[in-house]
Structure 1
Amino acid sequence: MTNRLELSGVIAKDPKRSQSPAGVPHCHFVLEHRSYQREADLPRQVYCYINVVSSGKGLQVLTQDLAVGVHTKVAGFISYQTGRNGIGKLVLHADHIEIICSGD
């Protein structure tokens, strides 16, 4: 089955970096996407926030320059996660991160 998502947008919340007990580095951030798409031959403004996590030493270098306002393209798979509060959400597990513009 296919599970692949590519999305561009702006970093909306400061990235939070952590390390698992096994020593795997993680970076969590929120991506805000806004664009115009066509649906039923009509223009439509689309907007979403999505939680993103990148894991592993290979992506650690790429996440060092992430900050609020940075235009970024991410790609990876999506997964459903339930938080400690019992509320579920979709999370994009990024295996590709590309900074489009630093936002300065």
Structure 2
Amino acid sequence: MNRLHLTGTLGKVPKLETSPSGIEHLQLVLEHRSMQPEAGMSRQSYVRIQVVLSGEGLQHWLEKLTVGCEVLAEGFLHRHEDSNGSPRLVLHAQHLELI
């Protein structure tokens, strides 16, 4: 199963793009910090991941999402390649909410 629930703060100003096929894509950067148990000890965890929310009517998110606001993103991980061919994991959010 490929499913991820991640909370964090918005690390960059969101960007709304429309694909050539007319689909809206809201691009976000989510930063998460927490302490996680590992091997009987506490470990500091830090994640910075690109999040993409796709669909219709995403314009309203631009007014609500500000750098530093807390959000919950739920969706699946997908591998993307940048223009240099370097791979990265992107969270394709199917649900997004302010917390």
How has the CA–CA distance of structure 1 residues 62 and 96 changed in structure 2, closer, same or farther, with 3 Å as cutoff?
A: farther
Q: Does the CA-based 8 Å contact 2:16-2:59 persist in structure 1?
A: no
CA distance in 1, matches of 2:39, 2:8: 24
Partner of 1:63 in structure 2? 61
Pairing of 1:1-104 with structure 2 (within 5 A): 2-57=1-56, 60=58, 63-64=61-62, 65-100=64-99
Q: Which runs of 5+ in 1 are unaligned?
A: none
**Secondary structure in structure 2 of the residue aligned to 1:13:** coil
Q: Does the CA-based 8 Å contact 1:37-1:44 persist in structure 2?
A: yes
Given the two structures, how large is their TM-score scaled by the length of structure 2?
0.92
CA distance in 1, matches of 2:16, 2:42: 38
Displacement over 6 Å in runs of 4+: none
Q: Does the CA-based 8 Å contact 2:9-2:32 persist in structure 1?
A: yes
Given the two structures, how large is their TM-score scaled by the length of structure 1?
0.88
CA distance in 2, matches of 1:49, 1:84: 20
How has the CA–CA distance of structure 1 residues 78 and 29 changed in structure 2, closer, same or farther, with 3 Å as cutoff?
A: same
Q: How many pairs does the alignment contain?
A: 98
Q: Does the CA-based 8 Å contact 2:79-2:88 persist in structure 1?
A: yes
Q: Which runs of 5+ in 2 are unaligned?
A: none
**Aligned-partner residue type, residue 49 of structure 1:** R
Deviation, 1:63, is 2.4
CA distance in 1, matches of 2:75, 2:69: 19
Q: Does the CA-based 8 Å contact 1:62-1:97 persist in structure 2?
A: no
Deviation, 1:24, is 0.9
**Secondary structure in structure 2 of the residue aligned to 1:63:** helix
